Amino acid sequence: MEFKKGDIERGIPIEDNSVDVVISNCVINLTVDKVAAFREINRILKSDGRIVISDLVTDKEVPTHSIDSDKWCGCIDGALTKENYLACIRKTGFQDPQILEEKLYQEVDGVDSKKITSLVIKAVK
């Protein structure tokens, strides 16, 4: 096993078209530029390579001016809607993303009430 450290938005230190599968749990949610993250994942995957990603999505995205950095770090304020999350995956060259698992993670009460859902998504390059 070899560990490599990189920033998924700026560049994963792995060559183009060189890996079979990328797995990730609750990372993309924390990135600022989710399209850049999926583009970088797509770049390192071989043709027909696949992703299995577990992440959180929301039913109400937080507008940029209302972002709370603590809640971003808690995987809440950086969450996209399911539709926007899947759109980012499609936009970066993956075909037909499939939801393998979907379950309620948290219901946030109060003025900014929302539902946070946990997804497991598979997609092929």
Ligand X SMILES: C[S@@+](CC[C@H](N)C(=O)[O-])C[C@H]1O[C@@H](n2cnc3c(N)ncnc32)[C@H](O)[C@@H]1O
Which positions touch ligand X (CB under 6 A)?
Answer: 7-9, 25-27, 30-31
Measured at CB, which residue is nearest to ligand X? 25
Q: How far apart are CA 55 and CA 67, in angstroms?
A: 19
* CA gap 77, 57 in Å, rounded: 10
Rounded least distance, CB 52 to ligand X, Å:
13
- What pairs with residue 54 in β-bridges? 25, 120
Strands 114-124 and 95-108: antiparallel
Distance CA 110, CA 89 (A): 31
Smallest separation (angstroms) from ligand X to the CB of 21: 15
Q: In Å, how far are 12, 96, 116, 119 from 105, measured between CA atoms?
A: 29, 24, 5, 9
Residue by residue, DSSP assigns 20-36 as EEEEEES-GGG-S-HHH
- Cβ-based nearer residue to ligand X, 21 or 27: 27
Give the shortest CB-105-to-ligand X separation in angstroms.
Answer: 12
Closer by beta carbon to ligand X, 8 or else 79: 8
Nearer residue to ligand X within complex by CB, 32 or 111: 32
Nearer to ligand X, 5 or 65 (CB): 5
Q: In the bound complex, what is the minimum distance in angstroms from residue 41's beta carbon to ligand X?
A: 11
